[in-house]
Amino acid sequence: MFDKILIANRGEIAIRIMRACRELGIKTVAVYSEADRDSSHVQFADEAILLGDAAPKESYLNMEKIIRAARASKADAIHPGYGFLSENASFAAATESAALTFIGPSADSIRAMGDKAESKILMKKAGVPTVPGYEGLENYGEFKKAANDIGYPVLVKAAAGGGGKGMRVVNAESELKEAIELAKREALNAFGDERLLIEKYLADAHHIEIQVFGDKHGNLVHLFERECSVQRRHQKIIEESPSPLLTPDLREQMGQAAVNAAKAVDYFNAGTVEFIFDPILSTFYFLEMNTRLQVEHPITELVTGIDLVHWQIRIAAG
């Protein structure tokens, strides 16, 4: 087991991880920016290290400073929490290169699932159902043909990133060109990557995600679902579990599909596979995988009685 863990985050999730560490007898290191000098997570930790100015690029997004802080404090591992660098493959790789343990999946798994276009191709190969659509489109002519093949309405969205950014619903061909331009611009500003893909838009679909967990020996399980269809601007507002829509058979099918998705990228530690569910046809499709601890993980903990952060740490420790 680890002796000391640096938490590369702030606020609620940093304190959540610190509490788990205390319960496991592990010392904690907080990092903070000038703006967070008096924040609760700084006071809660066993020790704290200033990273820099308030701007995230000078603090919580600065990989070099975080790794330097971990070495200076003699931490064994880094827990990224959620947000900031938690799904940054380069950070995971840099942490391991510095002889520190990254508490999360491998850099290769993060990279594979971080690109929506590439992950869809991987899921198709793994036999996981995906929304009808096209990847790798480069010009308006290709988008127009793809949209006509799929049938309107369609969804144009960023190949990189998430959080509802770079997404546009298109109901008719007359709207397509403007939607592509807006989505490209937003994707470039948000993620530095203007690549787009196009999918069939399922207007009355539900959003259901499956919690998965894997160890470093190839064992993977699912911990049931979270229904997160109540959203505003593609941002989740309410989550519940179990989903009122799923039958036991569908729950098992989606759970197994989530496990297969994770196995396709040799996944270990905590992750969430998100699906779009069509309640009329009782069919589901892979949406994306979040390669980190979810904000809403306590719902799964309440349903299962399993402390996900405890198990993240145990699995990372081997």
CA distance 167 to 184: 9
- 292 catalytic? Reply is yes
Long-range pairs of 234-238 with CB within 8 A, sequence gap ≥ 24: 234/163, 234/164, 234/167, 235/163, 235/164, 236/207, 236/296
CATH number assigned to the domain covering 110-128+203-316: 3.30.470.20
Residue 308 — very low, low, confident or very high, per pLDDT cuts 50/70/90?
very high
**Which pLDDT belongs to residue 70?**
99
Domain boundaries, the chain: 4-103, 110-128+203-316, 133-200
Which tens digits make up the pLDDT trace of 61-84? Answer: 999 999 999 999 999 999 999 999
Assigned superfamily of 133-200: ATP-grasp fold, A domain (3.30.1490.20)
Which tens digits make up the pLDDT trace of 14-63? Answer: 999 999 999 999 999 999 999 999 999 999 999 999 999 999 999 999 99
**Which pLDDT belongs to residue 107?**
99
Of 10, 168, 251, 292, the active-site residue reads 292
Whether 137 shows a pLDDT value over 90: the answer reads no
CA distance 62 to 91: 9
Fold assignment, 4-103: Rossmann fold (3.40.50)
Compute the half-sphere exposure of residue 107: CA atoms within 13 Å on the CB side of its CA: 11
Whether 159 shows a pLDDT value over 90: the answer reads no
**Which pLDDT belongs to residue 247?**
96
pTM of the entire predicted model: 0.91
pLDDT, mean over the chain = 95
Give the start-end residues of each E strand in the chain.
4-7, 27-33, 47-52, 77-79, 101-102, 133-134, 154-158, 167-170, 196-200, 206-214, 220-232, 235-240, 269-278, 283-290
Burial degree of 223 (CB within 10 A; 0-12, 13-18, 19+): buried
Amino acid at 52: G
